[in-house]
A and B are shown apart, each in its own frame.
Chain A
Amino acid sequence: MGENMTDATYMAETQEYDAEFGDYVDLLKPRVMRLVIFTAAVGLFTAPVAVHPIIAFATILCIAIGAGASGALNMWWDADIDAIMKRTTSRPIPSGRVTRGEALAIGLTLSFMSVMMLGLFGNLFAAGLLAFTMFFYAVVYSMWLKRSTPHNIVIGGAAGAFPPMIGWAVATGGVSIESILMFALIFIWTPPHFWALALFRNEDYKAAKIPMLPVTSGTRVTRRHILAYSVLLVPIAIAPAFTQIGGPLYFAVAIAFNAVFLFGAFRLWQRNDEVADADTYRAEKRFFMFSILYLFVHFVALLAEAALRALDLGFANWPVWF
Chain B
Amino acid sequence: MSGIHKEHELHTRRKGRNASVGIALALFVGLIFAVSIVKLSQPQGVDIKAPNFSLDAVTE
Contacts and interface: CB of A to CB of B under 8 A. Distances in A.
Interface of A: 4, 6, 8-9, 11-12, 18-21, 52, 54-55, 58, 61, 120-121
27 contacts: A4-B1, A6-B8, A8-B8, A8-B10, A9-B8, A9-B10, A11-B10, A12-B9, A12-B10, A18-B13, A18-B14, A18-B17, A19-B17, A20-B16, A20-B17, A21-B16, A21-B17, A21-B20, A21-B24, A52-B38, A54-B34, A54-B38, A55-B38, A58-B31, A58-B34, A58-B35, A120-B35
Nearest to A12: B10
Report whether over half of chain A's contact residues are helix, strand or loop; otherwise say mixed: helix
Contacts of A52: 38, 42
B35 A55 contact: yes
A120 B28 CA distance: 14
Report whether over half of chain B's contact residues are helix, strand or loop; otherwise say mixed: helix
Contacts of A121: 35
Interface string B1-33: 100000011110110110011001000000100
B1 A54 contact: no
Contacts of A61: 31
A58 B16 CA distance: 26
Interface of B: 1, 8-11, 13-14, 16-17, 20-21, 24, 31, 34-35, 38-39, 42
Contacts of A6: 8
A222 to B, nearest CB: 42
Contacts of B42: 52
B42 to A, nearest CB: 7
Contacts of B16: 20-21
A20 B14 CA distance: 8
Contacts of B1: 4
A18 B38 CA distance: 39
Nearest to B31: A58
Contacts of B39: 55
A301 B10 CA distance: 51
A8 B41 CA distance: 46
Q: Which of B9, B14, B21 counts the most chain A CB atoms within 10 A?
A: B14
B54 to A, nearest CB: 26
Nearest to B11: A8
Contacts of A120: 35
Given A52-B42, A58-B31, A120-B35, 19 more contacts: A8-B11, A9-B8, A9-B10, A11-B10, A12-B8, A12-B9, A12-B13, A18-B13, A18-B17, A19-B17, A20-B16, A21-B16, A21-B17, A21-B24, A54-B34, A54-B38, A55-B38, A58-B35, A121-B35
A52 B41 CA distance: 11
A5 B10 CA distance: 13
A21 B38 contact: no
6 closest A-B pairs by beta carbon, nearest first, are: A21-B20, A12-B10, A8-B10, A8-B8, A54-B38, A21-B17
B9 A21 contact: no
A58 B14 CA distance: 29
Contacts of A21: 16-17, 20-21, 24
Contacts of B14: 18
A42 B35 CA distance: 21
A290 B47 CA distance: 49
Contacts of A8: 8, 10-11
Contact of B35 (A12, A19, A20, A54): A54
A103 to B, nearest CB: 16
